[in-house]
Amino acid sequence: MAEEKKEEKKIIIDEDWKKEAQREKEILAAQEEADKKKDEDETRRGPLPQGNFAALISMLTTQAFFALGALQVKGQEKKEPDLELAKYNIDMLETVEEKTKGNLTEDEKAVLENTLGQVRMAYVQIAEQVPPQTK
């Protein structure tokens, strides 16, 4: 009988906890990697400035100049001007001018007027250089 009792004693080891612990480690490692990448992106880019009227005007103007081909991304081939897209961005600036009339400070008004003048002149100069079939 003593031998039968020895055989009946079995140790059962629950292996599932090991798998669960490994899964949790992998999740934590992935989260840490994502956080590290986010921190690296913010460090490389720098903090974003607070939004203001001049930044809005600058953003729309930059888009217009890219469409005109006056600006390009470093290392990329120069693209043909997209006059339709440039005109759209100029129209957006004109809409901002119209909708904010009477509500701008003198500095904001000057920024908008000067910027619109510059981008309009650039549009005319580039449009004159583009062959008629691509306009």
- Same domain, yes or no: 68 and 38: no
- Same domain, yes or no: 121 and 61: yes
Euclidean distance between CA atoms 30 and 105, whole angstroms: 49
Tell me, yes or no, whether 1 lies in a domain: no
- Same domain, yes or no: 99 and 127: yes
Euclidean distance between CA atoms 115 and 59, whole angstroms: 11
List all residues 6 or more positions away from 58 whose beta carbon is below 8 Å from its beta carbon.
115
> Collapsing DSSP states into helix, strand and coil, what is residue 76?
coil
- Same domain, yes or no: 38 and 85: no
Task: Report how many domains make up the chain.
Answer: 2
One pLDDT digit (tens) per residue for the chain, 135 residues: 555 555 667 776 667 777 777 888 888 888 888 888 877 776 777 887 888 999 999 999 999 999 999 888 788 888 889 999 999 999 999 999 999 999 999 999 999 999 999 999 999 999 998 877 654
The model's pTM: 0.61
Give the structural domain span for 88.
53-72+79-134
